[in-house]
Chain A
Amino acid sequence: MSDRRNHKPETGAFFQRDRDWHAPAFTPGYKTSVLRSPQKALLSLDGTISEITGPVFGHSMLGELDNDLIHNFAKPGESAIGERIIVHGRVLDERGRPVPGALLEFWQANAGGRYRHKKETYLAALDPNFGGCGRTITDDEGYYFFRTIKPGPYPWPNGVNDWRPAHIHFSVFGHGFAQRLITQMYFEGDPMIWKCPIVNTIPDRRAIEQLIAPLDWANTIPMDARAYKFDIVLRGRRSTFFENRPEGN
């Protein structure tokens, strides 16, 4: 934080989003997208002040257990059941610069693939000590970490026999509202990744591979928890070579 105070905040517009890299809106293999996808072209707009600004959240809003899903819903002295893991990584922009102060929120099913949600009816049991939500804010170098249990795969009514691979949902705030992103993290080696209609909405295999967290053996804590590393890249900011002038440039 102290270092950042000496720097003028960046205020350039963001790199254009590569919409061939992201999933298109209409992806009939993922059935719900059929009636929920716009059919008309998006109106393109180089970022105005309404999009290059965005809310920023302070570390002071965080509770002590906000990044510990093993304990933040558990009864005192108890913990969630499942494979203990640490997920950590960096939030960077497309220019490779760290994004400090980024709020990350995550949610997931429990070890059996059951979500704690009113609308959820899967027969796998709830874990009384697992809620499934957490949050943290990246440090000055863009680093974050949290502790959780590895979520189980989960069946869903799309095709007759579709199963989601094990995944953790991520929501990310960068420095501008145009960087707002929600995505999902998958686990190295899961054979179900390549069968999933939601994964396969993404047309480019390299873009999918960027969502798969490798097992980080070096950071695994012996007799405690394995580690997975997941870096997140947000849109980069253009350099302001010349200041914008009202008369145009």
Chain B
Amino acid sequence: MVQDLGYLKETASQTAGPYVHIGLTPNFCGIPGVYKSDLGTSMINDKTRGQRITVRGRVIDGAGMALKDALIEIWQADSGGLYNSPAEMRGTADPNFAGWGRCPTSAEDGVFTFETIKPDRVPFKDGRLMAPHITFWIVARGINIGLHTRMYFPDETVANAEDPLLARIEHRHRAETLVAAGAAPSYTFDIHLQGEKETVFLDI
């Protein structure tokens, strides 16, 4: 026998289920009055620095149907490339930009929408700059553990070409699944859970 490392095991994930909105966006699903507003619905205000953009899209299952019960969260740097987090040691992020947003997909057409700002580049671990990107986290009924992915910008071809994460995608055509469609200030990012157009998901 050797010494015991003594580490605990991470609590296992379970699906968020079809009624995730009760807990995370109660006002959206008809439970008013418990919280003033749903957390994460507003990412920017009048004083937020940076270029305003809209990001919308759908989450599509293996039969080509948009999920109407998914919940999306995004996390991103501000217009100066800083994260609004205590673990950000490079400087102080824009206090008028939380960097985090939450949006359920619509029960009618499955579309999610974020009004945010375009993030600046942040460094990879070796100091190289990553291309501007937004981190996505997707939960829903049928998804046992939240799916992480990233959205990159179609009008950042030079930065995307030297992005260390995109460069690691062996099947080059799959890198395109992480690049949104559209042009400033309005982008569309559809997430395909399964099949030919399957989005690249990350184990981070």
Contact = CB atoms under 8 A, between A and B. Distances in A.
Same complex origin of A and B: yes
Classify the interface of chain B: helix, strand, loop or mixed. loop
B19 A115 contact: yes
Contacts of A207: 9, 12
B83 A49 contact: yes
Contacts of B69: 119
Residue of A50, A61, A96, A181 with most chain B CB atoms under a 10 A cut-off = A50
B10 interface: yes
B142 A30 contact: yes
Interface of B: 6-24, 26, 29-31, 33-36, 39, 61-63, 67, 69, 73, 75-77, 83-89, 98-100, 107, 122-127, 130, 133, 135, 137, 139-148, 150, 165, 168-169, 174, 193-195, 198-204
Contacts of A182: 13-16, 20, 139, 146
A238 to B, nearest CB: 12
Contact of A51 (B7, B29, B143, B204): B204
14 contacts: A22-B12, A23-B145, A25-B144, A35-B62, A36-B62, A37-B62, A47-B204, A55-B75, A55-B100, A94-B10, A115-B19, A133-B31, A169-B14, A169-B19
A182 B11 CA distance: 9
Nearest to A175: B87
A78 to B, nearest CB: 14
A208 B12 contact: yes
Given A54-B87, A180-B137, A248-B126, A132 B31 contact: yes
A119 to B, nearest CB: 6
Contact of B9 (A21, A246, A247): A21
Contact of B12 (A44, A134, A176, A211): A211
A38 B194 contact: yes
Contacts of B98: 55
Given A107-B24, A177-B137, 6 more contacts: A37-B144, A38-B199, A43-B201, A50-B135, A105-B24, A135-B23
A32 B69 CA distance: 12
A66 interface: yes
Interface size class of A (residues with CB under 8 A): 35 or more
Interface string A194-213: 00001101101011101100
B11 A11 contact: no
B87 A176 contact: yes
B143 A25 contact: yes
A183 B107 contact: no
Contacts of A106: 23
Interface stretch (A80-88, A215-223, A228-236): A228-236
Contact of B140 (A36, A56, A171, A248): A36
B48 to A, nearest CB: 15
A65 B35 CA distance: 10
A177 B127 contact: no
B193 to A, nearest CB: 5
A118 B86 contact: no
Interface in A1-31: 9-11, 15, 17-19, 21-25, 27, 30
A210 B99 contact: no
A128 to B, nearest CB: 12
Given A35-B62, A46-B125, A55-B85, A23 B12 contact: yes
Interface string A94-106: 1110000000011
A34 B39 CA distance: 31
A112 B202 CA distance: 39
B23 A107 contact: yes
A32 B123 CA distance: 38
A183 B34 contact: no
A120 interface: yes
Given A11-B87, A33-B142, A40-B198, A45 B29 contact: no
Nearest to A179: B10
B86 A201 contact: no
A117 B30 contact: yes
